Amino acid sequence: MVRHSSLPVDEAWTRLTDWERHGQFLPFTTVRLVGSLVGAGAAFVARTSFGPLGFDDPMVVTVWHPPVGDAPGLCRVTKRGRVVVGWAQLAVAAAPGGALVHWHEEARFRAVGRLLEWPNRVVGSVAFGRLVDGLLAES
């Protein structure tokens, strides 16, 4: 997914990589940091639950190159859970009037393999579009 924001590149990057804030825009989900590390090696867990049913989605930042000057920022997060596996990649670059954001996610439920790949992609596209739009919203 691609989004344009009127925010400066560094502000867009900061908002998009504020992992705990992601829970504000993903239904039934809270996010907590594991440790205090920022950048490559940082870990966090997204807990998605509805009543007594839920699962943890542990993730670690495997690539961390914040934007500097005219160079775009790049971040890759790897999902390492028992339920959800895959990765997400975020790129933030300067664009006329602000920042251009590219978010790409390849994630699946481990137990069902590729069986639900298409429905998962559709739901993920809607959910992560809402996430990115929420994080970049002017306040």
CA distance linking residue 121 with residue 115, whole number of Å: 12
28-47 confidence digits (pLDDT tens): 999 999 988 889 999 999 99
**How high does pLDDT run on average in the chain?**
89
Task: Give tens-digit pLDDT for 115-124.
Answer: 666 555 555 5
Domain range 2-136, CATH architecture: 2-Layer Sandwich (3.30)
Residues 6+ apart with CB under 8 A from 78: 59, 60, 62, 86, 87
Nearest of 103, 108, 107 to residue 128 by alpha carbon: 103
Query: Is the pLDDT at 139 greater than 70, yes or no?
Result: no
34 phi and psi angles, rounded to 5 deg:
-115, 100
pTM over 0.85: yes
Taking residue 31's Cβ as centre, other Cβ atoms within 10 Å add up to 19
